[in-house]
Amino acid sequence: MKTIGMIGGMSWESTLNYYKAINQGVKSALGGLHSAKICLYSVDFAEIETLQHEGLWHDTAIHLTTAAKAVEAGGADFLLICTNTMHKVADDIQAQISIPILHIADATAEVLLADGISKVGLLGTRFTMEQDFYKQRISDNYPIEVLVPSPHEQTLIHDVIYQELCLGTINPQSRQCYLGIIDKLYEQGAEAVILGCTEIALLVQQQHTHVPLYDTTQIHANKAVMLALAK
């Protein structure tokens, strides 16, 4: 079994789901008392969040590269950045380490493609929805069109993530707002919606909507298990 490297803590609530999903996946595949071999570096999210909102992405890359090097030194065979947003600096990190990064957008797009999805909505932080590092990577490399909510809706989604979900707060009213946005994307032609922030699945699950949802945390974890167990 290969050792899975993880940079977590962004936020630690969603990292919990990563850790659980990966270990459940290994147990399901191998049975018995098997669990995943993991090397986890958990950052202080307050430091990262401040740099994000100040636009100091180069500094975030420095922080996460330090974490990535520690994970590599700890014996990891490949790396997961356990957050969608910080894949903005994935190429910067990859340039400084020798183990491969399992990119969350690629893992998600491969599942969408396998399911025949050609037009998909994207929810995430404002950074993920506004900027091209995530949605453009999908549309450039896969025959998939990516739709995003309106600027006002993006602000609402972003604020709920940072002011509620990253603090472990689950607000039913916020869920209804998210579901309304998901319905609008569906009306615009989205065949499914990517939960493109690892916290969103804490608030919205498939049971809450008829629109197919793609949870990037679970998809990323599933792909990590496949790679770890590949011969």
Q: Is 197 a catalytic residue?
A: yes
Domain that residue 86 falls in: 4-103+218-229
Q: Contact at 8 Å (CB) between 105 and 87?
A: yes
Pairing mode, strands 145-147 and 38-42: unpaired
pLDDT at 32: 96
Q: Contact at 8 Å (CB) between 106 and 135?
A: no
Helix (H, G, I), strand (E, B) or coil at 190: coil
Same domain, 165 and 194: yes
Residues 36-82 have pLDDT tens digits of 999 999 999 999 999 999 999 999 999 999 999 999 999 999 999 99
- How many of the other CB atoms lie within 10 Å of CB of 9? 21
Across the chain, what does the average pLDDT equal?
96
Q: Is the pLDDT of residue 198 over 90?
A: no
Instruction: Please list the residues that pair with 101 across neighbouring strands.
Output: 79
Same domain, 60 and 83: yes
Domain containing residue 46: CATH number: 3.40.50.1860
Catalytic residue selected from 39, 82, 166, 197: 197
Tokens of 134: 């995530």
Q: Contact at 8 Å (CB) between 71 and 183?
A: no
Catalytic residue selected from 60, 65, 83, 198: 83
Same domain, 94 and 16: yes
Same domain, 9 and 76: yes
Q: Based on the structure, what is the number of domains in the chain? A: 2
Could you give the CA distance from residue 128 to residue 27 in angstroms, rounded to a whole number?
A: 32
Identify residue 50 by its one-letter amino acid code.
Answer: T
Burial class (CB in 10 A: 0-12, 13-18, 19+), 23: middle
Same domain, 117 and 204: yes
Same domain, 114 and 210: yes
Residues 119-161 have pLDDT tens digits of 999 999 999 999 999 999 999 999 999 999 999 999 999 999 9
Burial class (CB in 10 A: 0-12, 13-18, 19+), 196: buried
Q: Contact at 8 Å (CB) between 10 and 127?
A: no
